[in-house]
Structure 1
Amino acid sequence: MSTASDPSLDAIMSERRQLINLAYRLLGSLADAEDVVQETYTRWYAMSRQRQEAIESPGAWLTRVAGRICLDQLGSARARRERYVGEWIPEPLPDRSEWPGDDPADRVTLDESVNMAFLVVLESMTPAERVAFVLHDVFRYPFAEVAEIVGRTPAACRKLASSARHRIDAARTSVATPVARQAGIVREFKQAWEAKDIEALIALLDPDVVGVADGGGVVNAVLRPVEGADRLARLTIDIGTRVPSMTLLERTVNGRPGLVAQRDGVTVMVMAFDVADDRITRLWAVRNPDKLHPWTAA
């Protein structure tokens, strides 16, 4: 279909990036977000031209539909993740400059609302909390519009967003470390790992650090979180010993400094970090190949 025969096409398709950004934040999965956007457009084009023209704001309509689809998926996702093998980590995203493909509309804006620590806290919320919070606090939709998507009153949605906000505040690390310093700490972690220097690794880790791996039952990965600097440092050294051909690369992961592990040029693991008080407090290692597709060209 050409824009000459359908002058509204550009306006409709210009919403794609906004929808991808919304759905990724709600679902934590780029693949699922793309499916939601495709289903949203399918529903739009299933309507008659007359019904389309009767919609005052197509962008608002597309957002409502995508939000409702995400809300439904979040409910079923909880059941799926109870059956998931090991820990489930949101799908990591590369820097925009390394994004595969040429369509900017498919790229997620990498701001603070997509860093891994933020997305992990979103995972702890109820579906309604997550949708209300993301739509209002991240995308600035008024509660009257949020209520139409969530199916509750504006007052109820305000309470949902407030509850979600408390979760975010409670999970925040004490003193945020500037991004440039985070990059330096991740680089030091990489160098200590490559040198198999366990003492250097322990010094970079918070005593109460938690490491989480996601293999999805497809590849080997620890099934439970690893707690404590000594345990995590020893596990890290062990991985490096068992996989000597692994190459570590410094990369931006969800907008923050991270590491990518490759074997023979193929990405086999993406690591995201949370850093506070100049120590690594959280480490997430995604090994499930189904979540590494955006990194195939990175």
Structure 2
Amino acid sequence: MGGRRSGHRAGGERAFLVRIVTRQALDRLRALDRRKEAYVGPWLPEPLLTAPDVAEDVELAESVSMAMLLVLETLSPTERAVFVLRDVFDLDYDEIAEGVGKCQAAVRQIAHRARAHVAARRPHGIASPAETRAALQAFQREVETGELQGLLDVLAPDVVALSDGGGVRHALLRPVVGIGDVARLLAAGWWRRDAERSVEPVQINGGPGLLVHVDGEIDGVVAVRVEGGYVTGAYHVRNTEKLSHVERETAVTR
């Protein structure tokens, strides 16, 4: 009897915690969505400086990558919560239903819809570590030199460049898409050239990236998406409010 009571009590505590945490997360996501409506220019997730071993766990690295986080941003707050609770944390539908305040049937439909949405938009063609290193080194070299032909050789035809300054720092006001436009943008000096600048290869959100210092201070981060040996995405974060987690590594585990 005591074991059953303690088990029931533990189950009740777990359900309570799931409900409270989920509802707080939903409130935060909805507030963030309202903030993004007035955001200046493209909005990018806050970058994390991660340890090299995160990239070795392909599934974990993809789940926290900048590209994947951008896919999740296209979901509604409820869809995001259901998808993460079910597909990442593997919670039962009844627990999720209580957490989001919907019936199990509705949660199953939301999970199916969110899963299909993510599957259709998630990045494909995971690059090997050697391909990733080679592509990042070439990208860094060509960006620093501004060599147009070199950039054309390393960028994918449908490459996308996004820059987030949030109205605080100078940045692109809209995405740039396509190898020609992105290569010309980089060759023309997307990065500041009027100060003492250094670029350091790092791991950002479990993937390749560049940490940019200007006059000894962190000026921004570029998360780089590599597929098939080519750079398919460059996500440049300069908003100072989003750079607090690139000064030291953030632990990321399953």
TM-score range, shorter chain: 0.7 to 0.9
* Unaligned residue ranges in structure 2 (runs of 5+): 1-8, 53-58, 250-254
Q: CA deviation at 1:241?
A: 6.0
C-alpha RMSD over aligned residues: 2.2
Q: 1:57 to 1:266 in 2, by over 3 A?
A: farther
Structure 1 stretch 236-245 or stretch 167-176: which is displaced more? 236-245
Q: Is the 8 A contact 1:208 1:228 kept in 2?
A: yes
Residue of structure 1 aligned with 2:36, choices 81, 84, 100: 81
Correspondence list, 1:111-126, <5 A: 111-126=61-76
Letter of the 1:266 partner, please give it. Answer: E
Q: 1:212 to 1:264 in 2, by over 3 A?
A: same
- For residues 94-145 of structure 1, the C-alpha deviation after alignment (integer angstroms, 9 at most, x for no partner) is 1148xxxxxxxxxxx9643111111000000011110000000001111110
Task: Give the Cα separation in 2 of the matches to 1:166 and 1:205.
Answer: 28
Q: 1:173 to 1:115 in 2, by over 3 A?
A: closer
Note if 1:220 corresponds to 2:179.
Answer: no
Match for residue 143 of structure 1?
Answer: 93
Q: CA deviation at 1:244?
A: 4.9
Q: CA deviation at 1:179?
A: 3.3
Q: Is the 8 A contact 1:216 1:288 kept in 2?
A: yes
Give the number of the structure with larger relative contact order, counting CA–CA contacts within 8 Å between residues 6 or more apart.
2
* Unaligned residue ranges in structure 1 (runs of 5+): 1-53, 98-108
Indicate the percent of aligned positions where both proteins have the same amino acid: 38
Q: Which secondary structure state, in structure 2, belongs to the residue aligned with residue 152 of structure 1? A: coil
- For residues 1-53 of structure 1, the C-alpha deviation after alignment (integer angstroms, 9 at most, x for no partner) is xxxxxxxxxxxxxxxxxxxxxxxxxxxxxxxxxxxxxxxxxxxxxxxxxxxxx
Residue of structure 1 aligned with 2:221, choices 249, 270, 295: 270
Q: Is the 8 A contact 1:240 1:246 kept in 2?
A: no
Residue of structure 2 aligned with 1:279, choices 223, 230, 233: 230
Q: 1:194 to 1:170 in 2, by over 3 A?
A: same
| TM-score normalised by the chain length of structure 1 | 0.73
Q: Is the 8 A contact 1:112 1:255 kept in 2?
A: yes
Note if 1:68 corresponds to 2:23.
Answer: yes
Q: Is the 8 A contact 1:179 1:257 kept in 2?
A: no
Residue of structure 1 aligned with 2:120, choices 162, 165, 170: 170
Q: CA deviation at 1:297?
A: 4.0
- For residues 44-76 of structure 1, the C-alpha deviation after alignment (integer angstroms, 9 at most, x for no partner) is xxxxxxxxxx66554543332111111122222
Q: Is the 8 A contact 1:272 1:285 kept in 2?
A: yes
- For residues 133-189 of structure 1, the C-alpha deviation after alignment (integer angstroms, 9 at most, x for no partner) is 000000111111010111111121111111111122111344222233112211110
